[in-house]
Amino acid sequence: MIDQGHIAALTGILGDKGIVTEPGDMAAYETGARYDEGRAALVLRPQTTEEVSAAVGYCVKNGIALIPQSGNTGLVSGATPDATGAQAVLSLDRMTQRFEVDLDNRSLRAGAGLRLSDVNQKLEKHGLFFPIDLGADPRLGGMLATNTGGSRFLKYGDVRRNALGIKVVLADESGTVLDLTSELRKNNTGIDWKQIFIGTSGAFGIITECVLNLEPLPKQVATAYLVPASGAHVMPLLRAMEDRLGAYLSAFEGMSKNSVAAALDHAPSLKNPFQGGKVPDYVILAEVSRTWEPREGEQSLDSVLETVLAEIWESDDAPLADAFVGPAHEMWALRHALSEGVKHSGKLIAFDLSFRRGDIMAFCDRMKDEMPHTFPEVTICDFGHIGDGGVHFNLVVPKDSGSAADKDFERRLRDRVFAIAVQDFNGSFSAEHAIGRKNQAYYDLYTQQKIKDMAQGLKAITSPGDLGTVRFG
């Protein structure tokens, strides 16, 4: 329970609309997209950076712990309060006013509370977009704090690569505002401080505003499903596509048979595109795109893709067993349905891993060999952003099995998968979802002491107050 005096003081700072204390109204802020369920002392909903600053300063002075929250679509228990009922959620969901497009600079200055879908809808008339694509609809602040990757990383990179500047409120007694909202793409004048706050889950400050790089909206898109001749042929196939398509290649997404089957089961409206409904062991969704309208006499993009696939098909030791070009919206609908499909197919224990690209299939093969012996009740439903080395390595346990509710089983499984990914393959235990409570123990385990010491120093000079769910030091 929070002191009534604090509620009155914070209402004075944020107004009636800026504070939520009714349990029913707080529920949406207490429950995460997938796993989390906590209890908030109250929810703060500031509308401006100045309000964030005043509220944060008050909370730090009075020892009130703050959890920043944007779209609440994160998958690592980062944006929701714990079960104590003592933490306040600081939601950015009302920070949506600012939206200034600079066409010459091809950049956007925006409030951290804007949803990705709203941003891209507003940019459409300018022929521009913020090029991070994923199956959820986060807000910009959360995307910056987690450094979202997504399906087109191969072409456009992650949020870090597309962030020009940010404004941050530090969790100190003054609620210091740090204005790092440069519009510049080039600026070698010292430490790039914004990067301290990007991808660090709100541990060092609260992002209230940002300046983002925009990209021209593709005007031609062609997609194909590719069936590799075997797992070992996936990388030769990717390299053959990159050789022949260069910057046209905008996605190369891998989908295992189990993950596709789970999506088709969960969403009957999805079209099963495979001959006789028979889903192959592994399928790649490849996308090529161009930013200009089709020109007369120019080979269409569908035809470019077909030509390239024919060349690869006819090459020595052809890496392709099958391929077909199809409508982009249908092909992406299946890809974006994998996550929810897998989630509904049983108790999901999800891993967001990354590897050197050439190690992805070797890792998956190793796990397919090992799992039936060590964790026989587990079904592997992996899919991922193969073009950038990312794998959503999902393990599903039947909901009615004893293991589904067994926390020790989940811990042993996580320990084993991470040990193989990190120690044997030099991979990352968090490719693009960031840390959060879910990954804290593995950050502690796999991070050098010197790095932790440096992070602790950084925390002390940026946000000494109780902020966020992650401890880097």
Among 319, 341, 436, 465, contact with ligand FAD (rule: CB under 6 A): 436
Q: How far apart (Å, rounded) are the C-alpha atoms in residues 75 and 432?
A: 10
For residue 352, the cross-strand partners are: 392, 430
Residue 18 contacts residue 94 (beta carbons within 8 Å): yes
Task: Determine if 68 is a binding residue for ligand FAD (CB under 6 A).
Answer: yes
Task: Determine if 430 is a binding residue for ligand FAD (CB under 6 A).
Answer: no
As given in the structure block, the two tokens for residue 389 are: 């080395």
Task: Determine if 136 is a binding residue for ligand FAD (CB under 6 A).
Answer: yes
As given in the structure block, the two tokens for residue 464 are: 């000494």
> Which residues are within 8 A (CB) of 348 and not within 5 positions of it... i.e. 6 or more apart?
342, 394, 395, 396
Residue 92 contacts residue 141 (beta carbons within 8 Å): yes
- Name the residue number minimizing CB distance to ligand FAD: 142
Nearest to 79 by CA among 88, 149, 136, 391: 88
Instruction: State which residue, 33 or 321, has the beta carbon closest to ligand FAD.
Output: 33
Least distance from ligand FAD to the Cβ atom of residue 374, Å: 28
Mutual angle of helices 301-314 and 234-245, in 10-degree steps: 130
Q: Which residues of 429-465 are buried (b: 16+ CB within 10 A; e: fewer)?
A: bbbbbbbbbbbbebbeeeeeeeeeeebeebbeebbeb
Identify which range of 142-150, 232-240, 355-363, 398-406 contacts ligand FAD by CB under 6 A.
142-150
Q: How far apart (Å, rounded) are the C-alpha atoms in residues 99 and 110?
A: 5
Task: Determine if 361 is a binding residue for ligand FAD (CB under 6 A).
Answer: no
Nearest to 391 by CA among 358, 353, 440, 429: 353
Give the rounded distance of the alpha carbon of 391 from its chain centre: 12
Instruction: State which residue, 28 or 310, has the beta carbon closest to ligand FAD.
Output: 28
Map residue 149 onto helix, strand or coil. coil
Task: Determine if 78 is a binding residue for ligand FAD (CB under 6 A).
Answer: yes
Least distance from ligand FAD to the Cβ atom of residue 436, Å: 5
Task: Determine if 213 is a binding residue for ligand FAD (CB under 6 A).
Answer: no
Task: Determine if 148 is a binding residue for ligand FAD (CB under 6 A).
Answer: yes
Could you say which residues in the range 6-45 bind ligand FAD, by CB under 6 A?
33
Q: Which residues of 26-35 are buried (b: 16+ CB within 10 A; e: fewer)?
A: beebbebebb
Instruction: State which residue, 18 or 202, has the beta carbon closest to ligand FAD.
Output: 202
Task: Determine if 142 is a binding residue for ligand FAD (CB under 6 A).
Answer: yes
Task: Determine if 202 is a binding residue for ligand FAD (CB under 6 A).
Answer: yes
Residue 26 contacts residue 42 (beta carbons within 8 Å): yes
Task: Determine if 439 is a binding residue for ligand FAD (CB under 6 A).
Answer: no
Size of the site for ligand FAD (CB under 6 A): 37
Among 432, 439, 443, 472, contact with ligand FAD (rule: CB under 6 A): 432
Among 56, 75, 226, 235, contact with ligand FAD (rule: CB under 6 A): 75
> Which residues are within 8 A (CB) of 357 and not within 5 positions of it... i.e. 6 or more apart?
235, 238, 386, 387, 388, 389
Least distance from ligand FAD to the Cβ atom of residue 93, Å: 9
Among 47, 146, 439, 462, contact with ligand FAD (rule: CB under 6 A): 146
Task: Determine if 74 is a binding residue for ligand FAD (CB under 6 A).
Answer: yes
Instruction: State which residue, 146 or 256, has the beta carbon closest to ligand FAD.
Output: 146
Query: Which DSSP string corresponds to 319-376?
Result: SEEEEEEE-HHHHHHHHHHHHHHHHHTSEEEEEEEE--GGGHHHHHHHHHHHHHHH-T
Identify which range of 140-148, 210-218, 286-294, 359-367 contacts ligand FAD by CB under 6 A.
140-148
Task: Determine if 79 is a binding residue for ligand FAD (CB under 6 A).
Answer: yes
Least distance from ligand FAD to the Cβ atom of residue 267, Å: 13
Least distance from ligand FAD to the Cβ atom of residue 375, Å: 25
DSSP one-letter code for 388: G
Could you say which residues in the range 253-282 bind ligand FAD, by CB under 6 A?
none
As given in the structure block, the two tokens for residue 404 are: 């589904």
Among 47, 49, 53, 69, contact with ligand FAD (rule: CB under 6 A): 69
Residue 419 contacts residue 377 (beta carbons within 8 Å): no
Task: Determine if 51 is a binding residue for ligand FAD (CB under 6 A).
Answer: no
Instruction: State which residue, 143 or 226, has the beta carbon closest to ligand FAD.
Output: 143
Task: Give the residues lining the site for ligand FAD (CB under 6 A).
Answer: 33, 67-75, 78-79, 92, 112, 134-136, 138-139, 141-143, 145-146, 148-150, 201-202, 206-207, 339, 432-433, 436, 468-469
